Chain A
Amino acid sequence: MRWSSPLGAVVLVAGVLSAGAYVVAVLDVALGRLTAAGHLRLRHALRQPLDETALLLLTRPSRTERPDAQAWALAPALLGAMAAAAVATVPLGRGIAVADVADGIVLFGAAMAMVMVAVYLHGWSANSPMPLLGGYRFIALALSYEMPLALVLIAAALPAESLSVGAIVASQHDLWNVVRQPLGLPLYLIAGAGLAFWGPLDTADGPDLAGGTTAEVSGPSRVAWELARRFVLVAVAVMGAAVFLGGWQGPMLPGPAWMALKTLVLLAGLVWMAHRVARVRLERFVVVAWTVLIPLALVDVFVSGAIAL
């Protein structure tokens, strides 16, 4: 099957996203239990996400007074579609990519910028206070993580002298970017957690807002939203594995296996962080992002640029 054909593209992207979302859900239950009770029950962790999804699907969809029904229904679709577009730019093995285009990293950036639109619309269109506050929180969060995210990706593109994700993977043949640019991956993972409003940065959908943008959503559209949010987290991990951990390159195992392994490591790290690091107040994160993370990301760009010269 040619992966750039319509059918191949759908199979590949949908397969990666669904498998990734299930892995995230299982890891979430397992690592949550490990953190809280000190032991993990794998069989329980494998079943729990499916049970919860089935229960949510059977829940009656809730309604609010005069919502923007179209935007409310389309927000999860937009979020999921942007995650799919982001994954499509990443080669998952030698020559296994849907669209390893020449400006792939810019396409990833554009898709991830649209996440802000999806989350804000999801909060705004419910016409209800808690979701709206969640939407505004995400804007403040997004404006803080976007600069570090863009800068570390630019820094990773510098040694490759190309904006194509495939070329960035190839440029790490001798030395992975995680070693060459030690600031890159930690900054990327912080920004990535913000991008999927995950872990310590989940205040947009946080419990202190009764669920934030999801406060008024139940039933199938809640399932769609939670899935789309995990798709974004998977897209972050897939891109992180390609850009910082050498992508599909590695000894012995075939390319896709290395890619799956590296993505799994990053996903486990992100889920672990969600259970071990306390939720960060948004005002504090905004200050830290603008005064610490952006200058660090700039140092990353300058040093990487100087080395690449």
Chain B
Amino acid sequence: MIRSGTVDIAFWMFSAGSVVAAWLVFRTDSMVRAAYWLLASFAGVGALMVLLNARFLGLVLVLMMAGEMTIMAVFMVMFMMNPAGLNPMTMVHQHRTAKIAGVFAFAGLALVGLVADFPDRPADARRDPTSDLGRELLGDSMLVFETAGVTLLATMIGAIAIASKRGRYGDAEQGSAPPALEEKPPEPAGMEH
């Protein structure tokens, strides 16, 4: 078994790393870098969950976030019309609102941390948290879990229906011809109907 001193050092390393990475999300000037600093922050949180013996949840967090942050970066690049996301751009906007919200969020969380009466019940080391989680998800919490799952599935099918090549806005290749180089470009091919 790992000694508790090692666990303490690892805990502080991953906590500090997560906080610094989360701060760097807003200090960098690129959407891709911001997305991957956020991933680094999540990976630190995943490591903390592993240290708390929630191994499955911690690993799944890293597994899901690796793909999700990449997809988020691609979507941000697509929406921002910033070719490839290579151009520098600021990651902070609405400074006054952001500052007020930040101060309130920090004060609220700090208050909870100082005032809350955290439970002190050491869990039985012989219990398997992964199988407990499985029984919970397919037992008492099944309705909540399945409702969220089916809702997300419906959202995904809807997104595919909108975005697919033969989607509700017509064929994706129609009307997407590049503009000509003259002063006044003619109607792009495929727009006449």
Contact = CB atoms under 8 A, between A and B. Distances in A.
B37 to A, nearest CB: 11
A236 B24 CA distance: 34
A103 interface: yes
Contact of B84 (A102, A106, A124): A124
Given A116-B66, A146-B67, A101 B39 contact: no
A117 B55 contact: no
Contacts of B32: 121, 124
Interface residue SS majority, chain B: helix
Contacts of A101: 55
B141 interface: no
A68 B70 CA distance: 17
Contacts of A136: 74
A101 B30 CA distance: 37
Most chain B C-beta atoms within 10 Å of own C-beta, residue among A113, A121, A163: A113
Interface of A: 68, 71, 101-103, 106-107, 109-110, 113-114, 116-117, 120-121, 124, 127, 132, 136, 139, 142-143, 146, 163
B67 A103 contact: no
A106 B63 contact: yes
- Top 4 A-B residue pairs of the complex, sorted by shortest distance between their CB atoms: A113-B66, A110-B63, A110-B62, A106-B59
A143 B84 contact: no
Contact of B33 (A68, A106, A132): A68
B130 A113 contact: no
Interface of B: 30, 32-33, 36, 39, 55-56, 59-60, 62-64, 66-67, 69-71, 73-74, 84-86, 128, 130
B36 A107 contact: no
A194 to B, nearest CB: 14
A109 B61 CA distance: 11
Contacts of B59: 103, 106-107, 109-110
Nearest to B28: A68
A116 B70 contact: yes
Nearest to B128: A102
B33 A163 contact: no
Contacts of B71: 139, 143
